[in-house]
Amino acid sequence: MPEIDVADPTQMSVTFDELYVLESGGVDCFVLDMNELPTLPPFYIVVDGRRFAYTGMTYLAKGHGAPLPAWVRAEEAAGHLTLFVERNGRLMAYLHDPSATEDDE
């Protein structure tokens, strides 16, 4: 089970081994299952040095329909990487923009 960074509780680091792949509408999405985590998911998830930020958007884990694949396709077309965190029947959307500079404040 991944753990929140004690030094910076706004983020956690995970590996690709801790993610599973969800196929939806012809789109493959990486998902981190955080259903067992006793605290809320952090704002940032770091995977293999890539920092994903929570977008504020969520989708149903079951029955999310066409909006989830459409959002993933649009973000990928813009050059962004997507990640989802599964929590309490919802998929929380996270985004990594390779061209963005990270704010350390």
pLDDT, tens digit only, all 105 positions of the chain: 666 777 788 899 999 999 999 998 889 999 999 998 888 889 999 998 899 999 999 998 887 667 889 999 999 999 999 999 999 999 999 999 888 765 544
pLDDT per residue as tens digits for the range 68-90 = 899 999 999 999 999 999 999 99
Check: pTM over 0.85? Answer yes or no: yes
Given this model, what pLDDT does residue 105 score? 45
Q: How far is CA 29 from CA 48, 59, 98, 103, in A?
A: 16, 13, 17, 26
